[in-house]
Each structure stands twice: as structure tokens, then as C-alpha cells.
């Protein structure tokens, strides 16, 4: 079995942002030379997530609005007793989840025609990383 682990580093421009990382993941899969297997893509921060969905601006806005309704900023979160004010970012991360596993077939991501891999940042504007681990033959 072949494996390759690489990291995607970034600084988000906004506090809350959704970044299409599909191309970055595809490049890592190509470098791995894995033809059949899977790739795990995981946010390494507790206020971020990774998901698969459409690269259409309307659905991205809908996702953001849904998350804000389900986990709005609220100064009264118990987490804020620690001196932080990002309780909503932790909750949004739980809703999106921190990782995805995507199949690799014939050396390429095996996704549907509209599926893209996104990094969702909920407490940004500082250096963040994503681990990409490719496994297969």
C-alpha cells in the first residue's frame, strides 16, 4: 500500500469563509501516484470543517445562512467563560464536521459532476492547516 501525507496551509481573508480546495487535493493525489484508494481531507482546527458540495455561490450562501441560524454568535455561550468569544465557531464546525473521505479511481478523485471539496473556516484570519492523507495502491 502507498501512502502520502501533505498539508495545505492558508490564511483566510475573512472571519467566516468557504474555500474550494478540490484542485489542491487533486494535485496531492497526483503526486501520490495512488491509482485506487481514498483520500482523507481533515481540518486541523476545532473551529473549521471540510465538506463536499456544489461550487455554486447560492448554495454556499445558503449553507452559511443555515449554520448562522443553527449556531448564531451569542455572547452568552458557556465557552466564552474561558475568555474566548468563538463558541459559535465550535458549534458550526460540529455541524459541518471536520473531515471527508473521497474515493480515488484511476488516479483521480471519484466524485460526482458537481461535487467539490471545501474548507469551511468559522474563526479565521490567521494561519490554518488541513491534512491530506492519500492511501491506496
Mean pLDDT of 64-93: 96
Number of domains in the chain: 1
Mean pLDDT of 5-24: 96
Mean pLDDT of 9-34: 97
Kind plus residue range of the DSSP H or E element containing 19? strand 17-20
Residue 27 belongs to a domain with what CATH number? 2.60.120.460
Q: What is the pLDDT of residue 130?
A: 98
60: domain range? 2-136
> Is pTM beyond 0.85 here?
yes
Helix axes 57-70, 87-96, angle to 10 degrees: 120
Q: What is the pLDDT of residue 20?
A: 98
Amino acid at each position: 500500500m502507498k501512502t502520502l501525507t501533505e498539508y495545505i496551509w492558508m490564511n483566510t481573508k475573512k472571519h467566516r469563509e468557504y474555500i474550494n480546495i478540490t484542485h489542491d487535493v487533486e494535485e496531492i493525489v497526483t503526486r501520490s501516484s495512488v491509482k485506487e484508494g481514498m483520500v482523507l481531507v481533515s481540518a486541523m482546527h476545532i473551529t473549521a470543517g471540510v465538506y463536499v458540495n456544489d461550487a455554486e455561490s447560492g448554495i454556499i450562501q445558503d449553507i452559511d445562512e443555515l449554520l448562522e441560524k443553527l449556531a448564531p454568535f451569542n455572547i452568552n455561550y458557556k465557552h466564552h467563560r474561558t475568555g474566548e468569544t468563538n463558541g459559535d465557531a465550535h458549534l458550526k464546525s460540529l455541524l459541518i464536521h471536520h473531515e471527508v473521505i473521497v474515493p480515488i479511481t484511476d488516479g483521480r478523485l471519484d466524485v460526482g459532476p458537481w461535487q467539490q471539496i471545501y474548507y469551511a473556516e468559522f474563526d479565521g484570519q490567521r494561519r490554518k492547516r488541513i491534512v491530506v492523507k492519500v492511501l491506496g495502491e
